[in-house]
Amino acid sequence: MGALRRRGFSILELALVGSLLSVVMLLLLQALTPCLRIWVLTEQASEVRTRGVLVHQRVLAEMRGTCASSVRAAGSAVSFLAVGKEGGYNPVNGKPIYREMVAYWLEEGVLYRRASTVAGLPTATPFALTDAELAGFCRSGKVICREVSGFGFASGVLSLETSSRKARSRREAHVHFRNGT
């Protein structure tokens, strides 16, 4: 009778290979975890920054079409007259014809926007809302951005700060009004 032919693996060999694979996988996981954490934080920071840039540019572009005397800032609320989507300039003297009152305000981390036609008719004379009128105007509006931690307009500078759990982005820009004072 010849030598017995051995087929397969013994339980000891399988246990040894399994434990070695477990150790290698654990080492790889330990090495990749910080990289994945950094990647997630970078993605969050990029998203917060992008959101802040887009919202800030939108408000800034809208404010540039107004005149400084129509801007009213009270706390984290800003209102101003806007020319509107159709343009709205007097063809004779080139002065703007304001078509809507626009307000942005921050409430519990959410930035809102509300626009309303100016008393039903366009106006060529700039005016600003009082604090009481601004508070009344800012009762309901469209959500523009969530996770906003700061918004305001002071000394000609529009500032917006967006944030998430681990990332923050702050944008500030001086508003150069196109339509004089």
Measured CA to CA, the distance from residue 134 to residue 113 in angstroms comes to: 12
Instruction: Indicate the burial class of 175 (C-beta count within 10 angstroms; 0-12, 13-18, 19 or more).
Output: middle
Measured CA to CA, the distance from residue 126 to residue 98 in angstroms comes to: 8
> Do the beta carbons of residue 134 and residue 77 sit within 8 Å?
yes
> Do the beta carbons of residue 83 and residue 122 sit within 8 Å?
no
Measured CA to CA, the distance from residue 126 to residue 154 in angstroms comes to: 19
> Do the beta carbons of residue 142 and residue 153 sit within 8 Å?
no
Measured CA to CA, the distance from residue 135 to residue 27 in angstroms comes to: 59
What pLDDT shows up at residue 164? 83
**Closest to 58 measured CA to CA, from 129, 142, 132, 167:** 142
Along the 181 residues of the chain, how does pLDDT read in single tens digits?
Answer: 456 666 778 889 889 999 999 999 999 999 999 988 888 888 888 888 888 899 999 999 888 878 788 888 888 889 888 876 665 666 777 677 777 888 899 989 999 998 887 654 556 566 767 777 777 777 788 888 888 999 999 988 999 999 888 888 899 999 887 765 4
What pLDDT shows up at residue 1? 47
